[in-house]
Amino acid sequence: MTDQGFTVEEIDTSRPHPARMYDYFLGGRDNYEVDREAADRVLDIAPEVPASARANRDFLSRAVRFLVEGGIRQIIDIGTGIPTSPNTHEIAHAVSPDVRVAYIDNDPIVATHAGARLLGTGNTGFFLGDMRDPRSILEHPTIGELIDFKEPVALMLVSVLHFVTEEEDPAGMIAAYRDSLPAGSPLVLSHATGDFHVDHVDEVLEIYKKATASLTPRSHAEVLRLFDGFELVDPGLVQVPLWRPDGPEPEPEELRGISVYGGVGRKN
Ligand SMILES: C[S@@+](CC[C@H](N)C(=O)[O-])C[C@H]1O[C@@H](n2cnc3c(N)ncnc32)[C@H](O)[C@@H]1O
């Protein structure tokens, strides 16, 4: 039994899980043979994927720091992923220890690691939930304990919306969250794209079709539409290394292969 109340038997090792494949791409050890096999097949086709995963994590860090330095004190981080240091609350607490973070993921493997690596500071919480059901997330008791909807709340949907198909209506889903947030609340969003790798996207999608969630990469225009009702802050929606880099602007060769767009918007 884990500290989140899930038994190890509930961890499904019969099919690849995107959370565990992502962990493997990031060099983590919280993955199984079935995940590594699928991830290795992706790497054969698209060896640049780990660089995209790392660039996405760096974007997450810079975005959280930017928001907390700007005064944000509460965060809902949906699609948390297997904890990878520095996690959202660690980045936020390095700036201001009073930031409250609610973590949500739908994969039990994340729950098995949440206790030791996401909780314990008193102002973080984790629960298993499906972002495609906004009511069940927004009305969860953990959200009630941590989040005050009268103050701006940062909603993080980082590298997770590509697991929502068009039929599942990602724009409608985001609108349901947006309508619960006060004006000025930020949205941090990153998303896989096929804009830079049209040649091998279909082969990668085939591998994800056998995983627990399929992948829907989106174009720049399609991701931009997901910011409906939010005003993008500079530099807008860009390949993630270009979003407010800590150092000099990345060189073109550093961007080659980075198949993730990211941006931060504020609710109007
Ligand atoms: C690629 S990881 C991203 C982790 C982290 N946000 C990051 O950017 O480093 C995607 C995560 O989203 C989770 N996820 C996928 N579909 C989800 C859903 N419908 N509801 C909640 N979480 C979901 C997966 O389990 C996985 O942990």
What is the CATH architecture of 54-199+215-267? 3-Layer(aba) Sandwich (3.40)
Q: What is the pLDDT of residues 209-218, one digit of tens each?
A: 999 989 999 9
Q: Return mean pLDDT, the chain.
A: 94
Residue 1: per-residue pLDDT: 41
* Residues 160, 105: Cα–Cα separation, whole Å: 10
Q: Contact 216/162 with Cβ under 8 angstroms?
A: yes
Question: What does the block give as tokens for 14?
Answer: 């019969």
- Residues in contact with ligand 1 by the CB-under-6-Å rule are 18-19, 22, 56-57, 60, 78-81, 105-107, 110, 130-132, 158-160, 163, 213
* Residues 74, 29: Cα–Cα separation, whole Å: 30
What is the 147 CA–ligand 1 centroid distance (Å)? 21
Residue 77: per-residue pLDDT: 98
Q: What is the pLDDT of residues 222-236, one digit of tens each?
A: 999 999 999 999 999
- CA-closest residue to ligand 1 atom 16: 163
Query: 3-class SS at 3?
Result: coil
* Residues 179, 265: Cα–Cα separation, whole Å: 14
* Residues 239, 263: Cα–Cα separation, whole Å: 9
Q: What is the pLDDT of residues 8-55, one digit of tens each?
A: 557 899 999 999 999 999 999 999 999 999 999 999 999 999 999 999
Residue 3: per-residue pLDDT: 44
* Residues 135, 169: Cα–Cα separation, whole Å: 15
What is the 108 CA–ligand 1 centroid distance (Å)? 11
Residue 76 is inside which H or E element, if any?
strand 74-78
Residue 7: per-residue pLDDT: 54
* Residues 235, 243: Cα–Cα separation, whole Å: 6
What is the 105 CA–ligand 1 centroid distance (Å)? 6
Summarize the chain as % helix, strand, coil (round to 5): 40, 15, 45
pLDDT interval class at 2 (50, 70, 90): very low
- CA-closest residue to ligand 1 atom 27: 81
* Residues 27, 13: Cα–Cα separation, whole Å: 19
Q: Mean pLDDT across the stretch 195-214?
A: 88
What is the 73 CA–ligand 1 centroid distance (Å)? 22
Question: What does the block give as tokens for 240?
Answer: 């993630």
71: left (phi over 0), alpha (psi -120 to 50) or beta: left
- pTM for the model stands at 0.95
Q: What is the pLDDT of residues 72-91, one digit of tens each?
A: 999 999 999 999 999 999 99
